[in-house]
Amino acid sequence: MSNEIFIILSPNQISVDVFYKEKEKSIYNKIYKIENNLSDNIKLEDNLNGVLKEQIINIEKKINYTVNKINLILCDPNNLKIEISIKKSYDLKQIQKDQIQYLIQDLKQQILTSNKDLKILHIIIENYIIDGKKTHEIPLQMNCKNLIIEAKFICVKKNLVEFFYRIFKNYQIKLNSIICGNYALSLNEIDKSNLLEGGLKVVNGENMKEVYILPKKPAKLGFFEKMFHLFS
């Protein structure tokens, strides 16, 4: 499809945006002012239902096809960032792809085991440290004694994610992605206030340091496509 549809949910407003990818511009925008109610699920559900009932029809008229997926940008100050690292000894052996995958999977499992109430939105590799030297590159086929991977996990309460999935499912809409607003803004080099631009960069996989979580039956992708695309 040639469009990406976003709902940007902030404490004081809900914004609906349609981005036309071929011309790289927004072709539709509607903003609703709301009370600060991200912590009040009843009010939040009422607001979202009001927006979806009105805007799905308007968007479908604009793009001439049925809306079946939407990206949600969540500007919630309660999003949690967890920084964690893991170390592996190699005894001067070469670093292999599956070993890096295993280490990041191990980090992910540690986060989920220790925080059963959280859902991971983003996994960002901050650094690889090879025998004491930092690098941002994937260190494949290198011989080393020790490898440390430093990562950041951006999480949100699992029950909030389930809440959003339930609401959108009522409209036969799939949540294509839930994006942390602050993380999206951090990807912008020029306009640090443009959530739509940052959200597009997340959806398009432009941050090569982010590890992407795929469905259980992903298409076959090369290892270096948008970095990893590791997990099911």
CB 94 within 8 A of CB 143: yes
**What would the two tokens of residue 52 be?**
């979806």
Q: What share of the chain is helix, strand, coil (3-state, %, to 5)?
A: 30, 40, 35
CA distance 8 to 73: 5
Which CATH architecture describes the domain 3-77+157-207?
2-Layer Sandwich (3.30)
pLDDT in tens, 90-136: 888 888 888 888 899 999 999 999 999 999 999 999 999 999 999 88
pLDDT in tens, 29-86: 999 998 866 778 888 899 999 999 999 999 999 999 999 999 999 998 888 999 999 9
Residue intervals in the chain for CATH 3.30.420.40: 3-77+157-207
At position 104, the amino acid (one-letter code) is I
| Distances 148 to 123, 132, 143 between C-alpha atoms, Å | 16, 9, 14
CATH of 80-154, one of 3.30.1050.10, 3.40.640.10, 1.20.1510.10, 3.30.1490.110: 3.30.1490.110
**What would the two tokens of residue 152 be?**
């950041």
CA distance 140 to 80: 31
Residue intervals in the chain for CATH 3.30.1490.110: 80-154
Q: Nearest 5°: phi and psi at 3?
A: -125, 150
Q: Is 60 helix (H, G, I), strand (E, B) or coil?
A: helix
pLDDT in tens, 146-190: 999 999 999 999 999 999 999 999 999 999 999 999 999 999 887
pLDDT in tens, 123-138: 999 999 999 999 888 7
Q: Assess whether pLDDT exceeds 80 at residue 208.
A: yes
Residue with more model confidence, 209 or 39: 209
Quote the pLDDT of residue 165.
Answer: 96
- Supply the angle between the helices 41-63 and 158-169 in degrees, to the nearest 10: 50
Q: What secondary structure does DSSP assign to 182-216, as a single string?
A: HHHHHT-SS-TT-HHHHHHHHHTT--TTEEPBPPS
